[in-house]
Amino acid sequence: MRRLRRALCLLALAGSTPTAWAQAEVAGAIAPTPDAPQSTDDSTAASPNGLLAPVLPPDMLDGALIYRQFRDGLADPDCQPQSTDAKWQRHFSHAPERLADREDDILPLFGYVVGVMRDADLPTEFALIPFVESGYHPGVSSSAGPAGLWQFVSLTARNHGVRMRRGYDGRLSPVDSTQAAVRYLKTLHGMFGGDWRLAVMAYNAGENRVLQAMQRAGVSAGNAHPTQLRGLSKTTTAYVEKLHALACSLEQAGDQPSWLTALQRPVPRLQPLELPSDFGSLSAWAQREGHDADQLAGLNPALSRMRSAPAGGSLWVLAPAPNGASPRISASDLIGGQDDGPNNGDADAPFLTRRAADDTDASHKVVRGDTLSTIARRYGVRTQQLLKWNKLKARAIIKPGMVLIVSDPSR
């Protein structure tokens, strides 16, 4: 029903603002086609349905594509009234407006974080953590100690490799802090059986507290539910409710034609770029490279007092990246090159188990949070191939415990 409502909204958009993007979305909503492999580094020449969309310069993205990537990456898209907390939905009701607001314009930074989560095969609920922690402001700091987009305290930041020294606080770098957050979330996601809810509770309270609560409840990563875990603070238990309510606020905003119209605009495609060792100042570098100096200063508060990279080290700036730009940090860089995939979700499995023991190069056991597109990317195949090899329909729903063929069975 929601898909039909969204299709009607897009039809209305197509009638008033007949952009190629709107036409592509409507066509995809009315006549679904097999899912195409998704990549956060997609060409803007194609929509997520594989149809033509407005062609933008290589340093730009269509805002509607960012929203589509976020929505497609949700682990828990169920937004029925009984599954969400009305109090937190009201609290975060402003979030869609902020994404649509050209003056505030957090959409490019949100798009960067969503892209990193998709590249790392993590649920896009995790991309909402900065909404809760910092309001998506990289320079926010608190008298209590937390700072930056992800609101790390200094001890946590250092424990996760964030550089902090005189004149430079890596917590205020969206590159350094996101690198640390993704690495930590990847570990937690694997530790807790691919359950995003347990992972964010551990992110908030620490994994040891959550593990102890699970032991007291007599449950493991495969069968635990947040409501079963006693002894955790109300702040920690509410963390899941906040993120889910926020996700639902954004999901339901997609039913509003005016909101979709506001998203249909070019926004900068942000990438981490390595600064030269003697860049002088962020403002001077921005002017030399043709960037908006004020925009870069707002995105990269950690660089406000830096004039050169440290000896033997590198500094990264988050900036729009045209063709020929310095290589960006990849997902494998963000998570240290490790495959900390979720465990098999069995009730008796150890907490720290990674992939199921019976997964082989030819098969994959589905865990909570998996999607066909993320499984396809993990094994370097196309989503259409997974559908064909497993005799699945284009809109098939996969469930934890299913075993999928992930290589050509005819070979």
Do the domain assignments include residue 49?
A: no
CATH code assigned at 376: 3.10.350.10
pLDDT for res 54: 63
Report yes or no: 345 and 368 within 8 Å, Cβ to Cβ: yes
**Sign of the torsion angle spanned by Cα atoms 162, 168, 174, 175:** negative
Do the domain assignments include residue 314?
A: no
- What residues are paired with 363 via a beta bridge? 360, 405
My answer on whether 148 and 255 are in the same domain is yes
My answer on whether 247 and 371 are in the same domain is no
How many whole angstroms separate alpha carbon 88 and alpha carbon 274? 39
Do the domain assignments include residue 350?
A: no
Task: Identify the domain boundary among 244, 266, 288.
Answer: 266
Task: Identify the domain boundary among 266, 292, 324.
Answer: 266
How many whole angstroms separate alpha carbon 172 and alpha carbon 119? 22
- Domain residues for 133? 56-266
Please, what are the averages of pLDDT over each run of 10 residues along the chain (411 residues)? 50 42 36 36 42 68 93 89 76 90 91 95 97 94 87 89 89 95 93 93 91 91 86 90 93 91 92 88 91 94 85 83 54 48 30 27 71 74 83 78 79 61
Do the domain assignments include residue 323?
A: no
Report yes or no: 398 and 370 within 8 Å, Cβ to Cβ: yes
How many whole angstroms separate alpha carbon 17 and alpha carbon 11? 10
Smallest CA-to-CA distance from 350 within 216, 227, 215, 206 is with 215
pLDDT for res 83: 67
My answer on whether 76 and 221 are in the same domain is yes
pLDDT for res 222: 82
What are the backbone angles phi and psi of residue 69, rounded to the nearest 5°? -65, -40
- Residues 374, 182, 42, CA angle at the centre, nearest 5°? 45
**How many structural domains are present in the chain?**
2
Do the domain assignments include residue 41?
A: no
CATH code assigned at 191: 1.10.530.10
How many whole angstroms separate alpha carbon 392 and alpha carbon 398? 9
Residue 304 carries which DSSP code?
A: T
DSSP string for 227-248: GG--S--HHHHHHHHHHHHHHH
